[in-house]
Amino acid sequence: MVHTEHSRDIMQAQRDWIRTYNALAEAPTGSNTRLRQRLIDLSRRLVQDAPREQLADLRHRAEENP
């Protein structure tokens, strides 16, 4: 895996995505609309701002350095 330098903003967005995903996994079914919308917004941002071939590296590095 090739490590690439990612901007602080995009790294923070990936960390937020991970936290939101985990919160959504634990949220009661009836109260997860805001979390789902936040996850969609973060996903959209990551796809727009990070090259597709770097998304796996970005995710891995965000998990290593929370």
Query: What burial class does residue 52 get, using C-beta atoms within 10 Å of its C-beta: 0-12 exposed, 13-18 middle, 19+ buried?
Result: exposed
Do the Cβ atoms of 64 and 24 come closer than 8 Å? no
CA 22 to chain centre: 11
Residue 42's closest CA among 66, 18, 6? Answer: 18
Reported as a single tens digit per residue, the pLDDT across 6-63 is 788 999 999 999 999 999 999 988 888 999 999 999 999 999 988 888 888 888 888 8
pLDDT the model gives residue 4: 61
pLDDT the model gives residue 66: 66
Of the pLDDT bands very low, low, confident and very high (cuts 50, 70, 90), residue 1 is very low
- pTM, two decimals, is 0.81
- Which has more pLDDT, 23 or 65? 23
